[in-house]
Structure 1
Amino acid sequence: MLRVELRDGLAVLTLDRPGQLNAIGSGMVERLTRALDDVRDDEDVRAVVLTGAGRAFSAGADLGEIESFVSPGQFRAFVGRLTDAYALLEDFPKPSVAAVHGFAFGGGLELALACDLRVVERGARLGLPEMKLGVLPGAGGTQRLPRLVPPAIAKQMILTGEPIDAERAWQLGLVNELAEPGAVLAAAEKLAGGLTAGAPLALAAGKHLIDHGLGMDLRTAIAYERETVSVLFTTGDRKEGLKAFRERRPGEFRGR
């Protein structure tokens, strides 16, 4: 249901329900949460890549499971588990890259939105079709999407339920890189591999500053940045970075 592979400083997490187009149910959410907890404590892992098995990244939330709910409370609890898992990914101290092929719809796109970066195969489609089911995205889609693309575009996608293709998503800045068909995972691993060369403490701090600074006024955010950078100055990684620069070699960062 969720495969975890560790290689070259990366944790590659693969949604593995190809017969159900990697629909995301409670079991998948539980395994994703557990995998992220394990990866967080693994010092050999510097970045995370998320992808899907088969012909798509993910068709979204498991509608079969949702249809089995007999009360609004069950649905609320399911959405709570989903949003908690995606928040864990968004706040994760190690950078994450989504490798999207085929399509990412509904909760599948919301999972990709929770990642730091997105690499998408040319021709893939991205959408939030919940409006066509009489509901709305419930795992962060109405909030994360308009923070990544112009609000008018987010409204169009959410209120019509119509998807956009990878090329349009790239033009809008939703996608960091386009990959040729069949090469999206390799492209995502290459991008993530470049991140693993960074100092872990600085990577985590950079993620935090960008994500949380956007909710602050500019002066407060800059003051927060100043304090964070001052703390990083005291780290062993900062000393190693300067030494490596002087010696004209890559830094060997330890996250300390």
Structure 2
Amino acid sequence: MTTDFNIDCKTETVKVSVVGRVATVELNRPESMNALDLEMIRGLAWNLKELCNSDDVEIVVLKGAGRAFSAGGDIKTMLSEGDESDFLSIMDSISELVVTLYSMPKVTISAITGAAAGLGFSLALATDYIIADSASKLAMNFIGIGLIPDGGGHFFMKSRVGETKAKHLIWEGKPMKADEALAHGLIDEVANDIHASVQAKVEEWEKKPLQAMIKTKKIFAEENRLSLLKFLELEKIAQTKMRQTEDHKEGIQAFLEKRQPNFIGK
């Protein structure tokens, strides 16, 4: 039996379907490559919290509609000239989403097709297992517009590859093919058929004692909770400062003009 629902989150940008013990959460802004605006961020957090409370669901698959997993944060949000408190509210919503996804008492899979960049990549890294299509591109590419990773990007990159390599990859910010991301340890599997690979992993997990798997996850999540919260707070403070730099303004202008930025370190 399949159930489709948006649990009173008042948004069509997130779609959830449940089949048996498996919930699929789909980012649904295909026209913008599933760029994460505030509506989608809050809708994701709302739906994930509802799934946390479901006794029937044990596996959650996160995916993107259309040709991308997620191109990252919505550039229109970055260009907003609203009060700085608006930006801080967005960062708080991102933190709420990330903590919910990372610590939810379900085992989680990211199914990446197309681009997983910036905040979109941070979200994928917050899940327990990442499968990427062989043609996908992954990038922690905040540096290209004079920003730093957010959404817990520092925490998850460090957890995956260690501090030194995490710094180097963040500073480079270049897109990686799926095979390269696998070699770095940033993802867990490369798929020629993403749907078949996700289904195979789901079926493998369904044959395991899932409550024991979830208990192990909860132990790690509880032990790491304060560290993740600290990273998220530091990212919020630092990102606020980075948005005020000349390099960020130049990065945004270069992005809009489709040219290489001319950074000056200011």
Q: Please tell me the TM-score bracket, short chain as reference.
A: 0.7 to 0.9
The match for 2:218 among 204, 208, 219 is 208
The match for 2:208 among 191, 194, 198 is 198
- Alignment match, 2:240: none
The match for 1:138 among 133, 141, 150 is 150
1:122 paired to 2:137: no
Contact conserved, 1:90 with 1:115, CA < 8 A, in 2? yes
* Deviation digits for residues 34-54 of structure 1 (CA, Å, limit 9, x no counterpart): 211221222221100000011
State the one-letter code of the partner of 1:72. E
Contact conserved, 1:51 with 1:185, CA < 8 A, in 2? no
Structure having the higher Rg = 1
The match for 2:76 among 39, 42, 64 is 64
* Deviation digits for residues 37-94 of structure 1 (CA, Å, limit 9, x no counterpart): 2212222211000000111100001111232242332212111101210110100010
RMSD of the TM alignment (CA)? 1.9
Aligned-pair CA distance for 1:179: 0.4
- Alignment match, 2:241: none
State the one-letter code of the partner of 2:87. F
In structure 2, the gaps of 5 or more residues are: 1-12, 226-266
Structure 1 193/86 Cα, relative in aligned 2: closer, same or farther at 3 Å? Answer: farther
Q: Distance in 2 between matches of 1:93 and 1:33?
A: 14
- Alignment match, 2:259: none
Matched residue SS, 1:60: coil
> Kindly, what percent of the aligned residue pairs are identical?
28
Aligned-pair CA distance for 1:103: 1.3
- Alignment match, 2:42: 30
TM-score by length of 1: 0.78
- Alignment match, 1:105: 117
Count how many residue pairs are aligned between Structure 1 and Structure 2: 214
State the one-letter code of the partner of 1:84. E
The match for 2:182 among 165, 170, 173 is 170
Aligned-pair CA distance for 1:107: 0.5
In structure 1, the gaps of 5 or more residues are: 216-256
Q: Distance in 2 between matches of 1:155 and 1:202?
A: 34
Q: Distance in 1 between matches of 2:224 and 2:88?
A: 28
Aligned-pair CA distance for 1:138: 1.6
Q: Distance in 2 between matches of 1:158 and 1:60?
A: 15
The match for 2:164 among 118, 137, 152 is 152
State the one-letter code of the partner of 2:65. A
Aligned-pair CA distance for 1:21: 0.4
